[in-house]
Each structure stands twice: as C-alpha cells, then as structure tokens.
Amino acid sequence: MTRFSTNIVAAWRALFGRTDGTSSVEFALLLPVMISIYFGAVEISNALIADRKLNKTGSAVADLVAQAVVIDDDLMADIFEASTAIMEPFGAGTLTVVVASVVADENNDTTVDWSDAYNGTAYSEGAAYVLPPGLTSAGTSVIVAEAQYTYTSPIGEYLTGGLTFSNRYFLRPRRTSAVGRSG
C-alpha cells in the first residue's frame, strides 16, 4: 500500500470514527418530526374542541326553544346570539343553525310548522320533514335544531381544507304541546 492510500484510510477512519456529534445530528434529523407531531396534536385537539362546542350549540338552541311557549323575533335573535357565544373562540362565520318546530297530524305525518335559521336557509312552512321513528305520535310536536360548523385550522387550511361537523337535536316542547312563533 502506498503512503498516499495509507493517509487516505487514516483520514477516513479519523473522520467517520468520531462520535462526538452524533447526538446533534440525530436531534437535527428528529426535530422536524417532533414539531410535526406536536402541531398535529394541537390541531386534532382544536378540531375536537370545535366539535364539542358545536354539540353544545345545537343542544342549547333546541333546549332554549323547547322551553318557550311562543318564540318571537327578539327571542330568536337572542338564541342565535347565544349560539355564537358558545362557539367562541372559534368564529361563527361558518356556523349554520337551523331550528324548526315539526308537528305531526292525525296520521302522524310530520311537517314543518315554522323554522328559523342563522347563516343558513330555514325550512318552508308546511314542508314535509322526516323524523326518526317513534319521536312523535298524532297531534304532538318536536323541536329540531340542526347545527353545522366548518373548522379550518391555520395550518390545515393549506394542507387539507376544513373539517365540517354537524349534528341534529330533537326535543319535545316542555310547557306546551307545540311552541308557537310570532312576529
């Protein structure tokens, strides 16, 4: 072996035989993975919180309407304002809430008596509304609240778009056979 090749082998062993920077290199390689896991966990937590707040919103709207005897425009505006407050700190820009009083006739055919909406379209009065079986009997009514929210995270906006959550709540009126609507 020549002296030149011996020097190259010695230099090679000296360079790659060192381990004093191994931890730094491993940390540099794992840091992006650890940061991605952290931000992913934060985003999943925020999405779950938004879904939970939407569930509370739909439940609260149905509950507040079911407690009334007659709903007027001012009370409905207050109920919708309360629904936006429940969704804080998530903005209410993509929140949609539709509430309706669904009544059953003598044949237990269900139709919309009245409906209101926040950031959405209310059901037409007299339109057929299909309820799950067993919720009504002839001459009864049910308050239906439908809530939908699209959660868009600051990071997910660029990666996946928004996640849309929705739910429906059915409550019987508490103080009357059917909640009325005025104004």
List the chain pLDDT tens, one digit each, 183 residues.
577 677 777 777 776 766 677 788 888 899 999 998 998 888 889 999 999 999 999 999 999 999 999 999 999 999 999 999 999 998 888 999 999 999 999 888 999 999 999 999 999 999 999 999 888 888 899 999 999 999 988 776 666 678 899 999 999 999 888 898 987
Beta strand 96-104 pairing with 110-118: antiparallel
Q: Which two tokens stand for residue 1?
A: 């072996």
Yes or no: say if 174 and 66 are a contact pair by the CB < 8 Å rule.
yes
CA distance 109 to 40: 47
Whether 181 contacts 114, CB under 8 Å: yes
